[in-house]
Amino acid sequence: MFGIVRPCSHRLGEGLKTQWMAHLCGLCLTLRGDHGQFARVVTNYDGLLISVLTEGQAERTTGWRRTAGPCPLRGMRTASVAQGEGARLAAAVSLVLASAKVRDHVADKDGLLARRPVALAARRVAASWGRAGARTGSDVGFDTAVLVDAVDRQVGIEALAGPGTPLLTVTEPTETATAAAFAHTAVLAGRPGNAEPLAEAGRLFGRLAHLLDAVEDRETDAASGAWNPLTATGTPLVEARRLADDALHGIRLALREVEFTDGKLAHLLLAHELGRSVDRAFGTSGCGHQDHADGARGAFGPPQHGGPYNPQSPQSPYDGQNPYAGGGSPFGGAPSFPPPGPGRRGFWAGCAAAIGVCCTCKVCCADEFEGPWSRRRREGCLGNCDCDCSCCEACEICECCECCSCCDCGL
């Protein structure tokens, strides 16, 4: 699952996290239902924004959700998932863009794709995804030719780009493609008046996605000799950051003009999470949970060494010994202690448990799971974040004091 909008479950809160997962699972299951199991590999975080925007604008009906059966990717739990035209448009866009991405990797001869048989198989898969995306797009009234045209023009623009070429010339095809996809969500939701501001938000989102991808891949591309828009055009990181901040501000302004039925999730993802994605790409943010990762720090800072109740301290009145270790409680009766934690598994038992954890995708999708060998409780990937979670949970509906000073959302 790839994408620049990767929200942290600590920031989403329970309600919006459930909604976000409903759109993610809805996209995945739509791909499976319309195009087979293998198509699920194109599920991505950015693609589900199409589904989020469509549902956020539409009038509340009973047709936007269905109950899906147990799935290994959800730890064998049922869930309410998104369905309908928004999920199908998201699937169409994901398929076409994944097709383009595969063709691009084949052209660059990345990794195993440098081998002729593998490249041939990849081209066939890409062609199949392109046709499937076009069919699904046609079913919901969206012409995917604008996406294909953008991809084809991208190749030519990159071939001609050099030092001095404006970076926005390189990002234009991506901007055009995402603008068309965002605007069509207004058509599906029955709000044609939203098409223009959503096209602007989509255009700037495409610019931002292209910029952040270039920033994150800059060092890797330099090491492998791959083409990178920042290196090719000679654009410094300072200028790239300015363009990214301008695009983010433009998205927030465009969202003000969109009429939503329920826009909380769309606003959180596009007005707030995008800002954190920019910080993450440029290395200007940290995680507020890292200070507590090892349990050494509490609400009042790290433990103080040398206190009278520290058993490792020479000042300890008991020299590290429990004065009641050999007898009963001084208050009478037998002493009570908490039950010991679960014991470690052996090597082979741990291997079996690890296979079970991986096959059910608990590492990825569960809030927490039991370590295969240590049997300690671990956080799943959805619990890991790169966020500063110092803001209160009310941030999810933009009610904390300074959370929305950047966009003045008024929600």
Q: Residues 6 or more apart from 307 whose CB is under 8 A from it?
A: 313, 315
pLDDT digits 0-9 by tens, 263-279: 999 999 999 999 999 99
**Which residue's structure tokens are 């797009």?**
137
**Angle at CA of residue 300, ends 299 and 301, nearest 5°:** 100
10-residue stretch averages of pLDDT, the chain, 411 residues long = 75 87 92 90 90 92 81 80 91 91 80 85 91 92 91 88 94 94 95 96 95 92 88 94 96 96 93 92 62 35 39 41 42 41 64 66 58 65 48 39 44 45
Distances (CA, A) of 259 to 12, 87, 183, 254, 272: 22, 20, 13, 11, 18
Task: Give the residue from 34, 33, 24, 86 showing the smallest Cα distance to 61.
Answer: 86
d(CA 145, CA 156): 17
The pTM score is 0.72
Give the start-end residues of each E strand in 195-269.
Answer: none
Confidence at residue 397, expressed as pLDDT on a 0 to 100 scale: 39
pLDDT digits 0-9 by tens, 43-101: 988 889 999 999 999 987 767 788 888 887 777 788 889 888 999 999 999 999 888 88
Confidence at residue 6, expressed as pLDDT on a 0 to 100 scale: 83
> End-to-end CA distance of the chain, in Å?
30
CB-CB contact of 239 with 279 (8 Å): no
Q: Check residue 301 and report its DSSP letter.
A: B
Distances (CA, A) of 114 to 42, 120, 129, 222, 297: 21, 10, 21, 18, 49
Confidence at residue 298, expressed as pLDDT on a 0 to 100 scale: 33
